[in-house]
Chains A and B, each alone.
Chain A
Amino acid sequence: MATRAFQRLPTAPAGRILALRLVAIALSLCIIAGVLALSGHSPVMLAELILRSTLGSRFGLEDLMLFMCPLLLTGAAVTVCGTIGLWNIGAEGQFYAGAIAATGVALGLHGPVLVMLPLMTIAGILGGMAWITVPTLARAYAGVNEIITTLLLNFIASLLTYYLTTGPWRDRISGAQVSTQRLSVSIPEMWGIVHWGFPVAIMIVVGLALILSRTRWGYEICIGGANPEAARYAGIPVRLRIISVMLLSGGLAGLAGMFEVAGTVHRLQGGMANNFGYLGIVVAVLARGSCLNVIPAALLMALILDSGIVMQTQQLSASVILAITGLILFMIAIGDELAHYRPVATTPAKGKAS
């Protein structure tokens, strides 16, 4: 019998995970460079271009922040839900619902910005919460799998947006396709095209981290997620906690939709969620259940998205960018798994024959 030289531990230290993730990213970049070189592109030139148009220039940084803003919120939405052991796959739909609700307020009411923006914010949050209400109640009272219900509602929200933007709310002024007219209210800009939603999203993520670690509610959520049976044993009302966490999760994703509508796009458009809801799942997985980790995870995801757009300008097709995204995430997943393995001190083998 061969002696097993590695043992899988149930937990992996954060430092090891970080180190292996950096290795994983470096390795995937090498692979990507190799493939690009084989297909006749210059990896060096592309890398230079990508760096210049993301981290290396002011416009690049502004774009990055605009990408990060919704990713922070959808990532936080999925992370918070994951704390109690549930998966909100429906951030995409809640994003649309929040965007629709905020747009409805903007189109239907007229008033000063100081009144309209809070109203739109509340509408966005309530829209997201409303969209997750049915999955929440089904989960809490009937044990219906939330992964399926939240996922399926995404398609309905997306189609509802198409309906509104081509039907009752279509742009009658400039005639833009699949879009409402430009909203009269918008979130003020802070730095270039970056609006105030970005720092607010960062503060929300930090605030959530504090709530989860420093409040009784947060403690109960963590216990409920780590072992529901122990939570019941401790007398924690698990059902009520599930309801509050899922509504919060939906509200966060709805807020992301409101920020996108009122801060970045300024209109409700069909397809505007741009997979931010689904990418929120990726961000949450990268963050490994920690709210603070959502910030670097969202940055990485924004970098990938932004690089993708730069590469598309260099005649690389969209599917190449998808493949690259997949490769990086795949390598990171392998790195995470390897971080669990520890070399085991084995007694020196007596004979090498076997």
Chain B
Amino acid sequence: MNNPVSPAAPSGMAPGTPPVLQLRGIGKFFPGVIANKDVDLDVWPGEIHALLGENGAGKSTLMNVVTGIYQPEEGEIILDGYGQTFASPQDAIRAGIGMVHQHFKLVQAFTVAENIHLGWDEAPRLASPAVMEARTREISERFGFPVDPAARVADLSAGEQQRVEILRVLARRARLLIMDEPTAVLTPEETGELFRALRAFRAQGNAVIIISHKLDEVMEISDRVSILRGGRKVGTFRTADCNPSMLAATMVGRDIVRRNMRARAEGAAPIAPQPIMQLRHVSVRDDRGVETLRDVSLDLHGGEILGIAGVAGNGQRELTHVLTGLMARTSGEIVLDGSVVNRADPALFAHAGVGHIPEDRLRSALAPSLSITTNMALREYAQPPIGRHGLYDAGAAGVLAHDIAELAQVSIPDFGMPIRNLSGGNQQRLVARREIRIANRVLVAAYPARGLDIGAIATMLGYLTDLRDQGVAVVFISEDLEDLLNVSDRIGVMFHGRMMDVIDAENADIATIGMLMGGREPASLQPGGPQ
């Protein structure tokens, strides 16, 4: 591994030039969580600095500190050699720090020119559309981001909207541009354009921080890379000294305790030779026409746990929704128990024995304002004993809720209280047990351990292996490689909506998974391929 570079100015810079941004010992804590601790970072004028890390590594928190959204509990922020505190994002903007978020913050119904001028203190007091459009055109030409000032934002492609966001920031005289996952929504051509523009911006002596988990892009665009892990900085490296496999290893490379939970108990169901569910070349496009799931083919076998690894937002949500009938595929085929089911019909899937522990349980699996009993009946309200002849038996629902709570080991004082009064961990356990009840064939569990403590995580993983032993096909989506490696039989790695590869978990190599998560083609990872 390369040694981290010292914070000395890069060569070719006038001596005495201070970094644009210096962070010294930044610490930021949330109740029960250390989001950042002892983070030092130097960003020099004329550099593109990549910030690399897994989900939850603290990248976003750190950038929120830099842009004044959060105030750090420890450490200092130094701009051009002077200490600064930002009471609000406006302070950071005035100091020349601009951030382009992954999810654009534009007013869809406004034109490009209106969005650029919105909340800008340099906007003329009385501005006609013509004046604003002329000003926008001038800004657009000055910074080399072509936009149509009169176009309505809602009509623009994702790449064009991003240009508007960048212009918004540059128009406010940003010298440090922070971009969060800028290429996630872009086509390869748009990515190329963006990188050209970023290089031009750098050439004027400005700095860019780019948050990414795509190793190839980091290698292509950045001058230096800083890697965060568990809220702390692991190191800063010259990109020229790095290679993707070393970055991947550093990013995910904490000590992973491998406990084999693959061993079957006596009498457990073997892996069924015939798949219960199959995806054949399934693709999904979202409302903006972006392909969020690309040509995914998968076989789910009874008695097997298929782990899905990948940085969040790489198609896991779409995969879960396609597997549970919540989302229609745009092309390809879904085969369930031998028959093609291309209709998005969640009732049909649930009836066929497909359980679903969704990622955002409060938003999609529960009605937070309704009682615990009502929520526990959600999957079985139409079947006896709760549902008979179109009636709903509240007493039977209460019995069911008691059963579920007992199995989930959640003690509940009052089953009539709204379920949002329970802690997130207890909600998660209840949803998991509710879904396991109906999952006779398949259980799709998206991040089921998220927000649980260590003991609860072990219980949750135990639920999954129990189901597997009963012959259910389990899909286990997680961002925790340790859990994935411990319980999965096979692991599929997703990147950009694609299933990069499905590998045998027993012999899986963490560095390989890290490379696949970062978008490296499996072919290039074979022995003899470029390293």
Contact = CB atoms under 8 A, between A and B. Distances in A.
Given A214-B392, A219-B374, A219-B377, A233 B346 contact: yes
Contacts of A15: none
A231 B365 CA distance: 8
Interface residues of A, number: 23
Interface stretch (B143-151, B187-195, B356-364, B507-515): B356-364
Contacts of B348: 235
A85 to B, nearest CB: 11
Interface in A218-272: 218-220, 222-223, 226-227, 229-237
A354 interface: no
B455 interface: no
B350 A235 contact: yes
B459 interface: no
Given A11-B418, A226-B369, A234 B391 contact: no
Nearest to A289: B369
Given A215-B391, A215-B392, A235 B368 contact: no
A330 interface: no
Interface string A74-109: 000000000000000000000000000000000000
Contacts of B324: 233
B374 A223 contact: yes
Interface in A47-76: none
A10 to B, nearest CB: 6
A11 B420 CA distance: 10
Q: Is the interface of A mostly helix, strand, loop or mixed?
A: helix
Contact of A219 (B347, B366, B381, B420): B381
B370 A233 contact: no
Contacts of A223: 367, 370, 374, 378
Contact of A230 (B351, B366, B382, B392): B366
A216 interface: yes
Interface string A156-193: 00000000000000000000000000000000000000
Contacts of B391: 214-216
A213 interface: yes
Nearest to A234: B378
B378 A226 contact: no
Contacts of A231: 367
A227 B368 contact: yes
A230 B394 contact: no
A217 interface: yes
Interface in B410-452: 417-418, 420-421
A236 B390 CA distance: 14
Given A213-B394, A217-B390, A222-B370, A230 B378 contact: yes
B345 A233 contact: no
B379 interface: yes
B368 A226 contact: yes
Contact of B364 (A218, A222, A233, A235): A233
B326 interface: yes
Nearest to A230: B367
A198 B420 CA distance: 39
Interface of B: 324-326, 345-351, 356, 358, 363-370, 374, 377-379, 381-382, 387, 390-394, 417-418, 420-421
Given A215-B391, A232-B346, 6 more contacts: A10-B421, A11-B421, A226-B370, A232-B326, A233-B324, A234-B350
